[in-house]
Amino acid sequence: MGAYDRDYWRSEPTSQTRSIGGGIKWTATTWLIVACIAIFVLDGFLPRQWVVTESKWQPGLPDDVQRLILDGKIPTSTDPSEQSAGKFLSVEQPVYAQQPNGQTQLVAVNTLQSMPYIQKWLYFSTSTALYSTIPGVGTSALQLWRFIGFQFCHASLEHLLFNMLGLIFFGPVVERYLGAKRFTAFYLICGIAGALVYLLLNFAGFMVTESTNGRVMIPGLLSNDPDMPLVGASAGVFGVIIAAARLMPDATVLLFFVIPMRLKTLAYGLVLIAAASVLFKWKNAGGEAAHLGGAIAGWYFINRPERLRSFFDFLGRADPTSTFHSARKVQRAGLVDGRGPSNAEIDRILDKVRAGGLGALNETERRTLRDATRHRSDS
């Protein structure tokens, strides 16, 4: 069933907005776009930083010495980079270990990548998500905020523009169907799913490479260094495109603004390209793995939108800004009387929302919830 076949699609939009200056109303899609652009612009004014994206041991260094270094039992040191992170894209940094005789020995070489200041604290990698000890640098582990943070960072202006165009074209379609809050949850979950798929494939690929000393390469696994950063809204945008294709499969879109094709054809074509990139290790295979994760989550949750309601449960038993929560508070406070809807009617409507989300309500039921909320504020 397409979106326009549903009665509530043709009625008033379910997307909640915020009024700016009493005039322009911003949707959740607009806020997401503004957040991505704001971080990108702000990072352009902040000093760039060095981030370790790869570390290689010196050939012939015994495994037991490597373990002692990583365990901190052999002190290490690095020379501060003499190059400016604002002028160079990457540099190599030697790592020295102290020997028993007091002299130092070159044991590893780190590759440093120049990165914008905010992006340094938000980018995602297998190392930051799990656990990693980088010789001469230190450890990183369980930095869970990066599962969301990386979705608002972009590697270049072109990267940002393509992702924002995807949100501009397809975000409103999905947001109108889900409503602003469930759309926000949907978008963030698709991004998280993208990070998880990348994490699983990269961790598995790293373990296979390490255990076989690079002799075995399994198609589909990512063998890049676990410290390699992942940024971009692409995983969330892929989820949005898949969802839009599910809602409006026969809508016509212009590929490269020139070639007309059905939205369903475009969406599943992008998925096939992403899968082939991961399988055959084409350029940006890691990013394409995240795209696949976002697409899988997008397909799953657009078919089960009621499961998005619990995403913001960390705010309380229910989202305190929702109509559902407000109506429940009316009922619990005993504010329902002869002037408003009955307890039994509110119970029935809330059960329906719990089962199918706000999109499952007809106009009369929505009006009843609004009346109950308004009655609470008047009381």
Q: Quick check: 196 pLDDT over 80?
A: yes
pTM of the model: 0.77
pLDDT at 14: 45
For residues 167 and 255, which has the higher predicted lDDT (pLDDT)? 167
Six token digits for residue 48: 């760039």
Is it the case that residue 320 has pLDDT exceeding 80?
no
* Stretch 202-231: mean pLDDT: 88
Q: Per-domain residue ranges for the chain?
A: 3-40+150-307, 50-115, 323-378
Q: What is the pLDDT of residue 230?
A: 95
Arithmetic mean of pLDDT over the chain: 81
Average pLDDT over residues 348-356: 70
pLDDT of residue 12: 40
Task: Give the mean pLDDT of 172-196.
Answer: 93
User: pLDDT tens across 333-345, in order?
Assistant: 554 444 556 667 7
Burial of 148 (0-12, 13-18, 19+ CB in 10 A): middle
What tokens appear for 137 in the block?
């640098």
Rounded CA gap, 136 and 170, in Å? Answer: 45
pLDDT in tens, 269-294: 999 999 999 999 888 899 999 999 99
pLDDT in tens, 126-158: 999 998 888 877 788 899 999 999 999 999 999
Query: Looking at residues 343-357, what average pLDDT do you find?
Result: 70
CATH number of 3-40+150-307: 1.20.1540
Given strand 49-57, what is the order of strands in its sheet?
49-57, 104-115, 90-98, 76-78
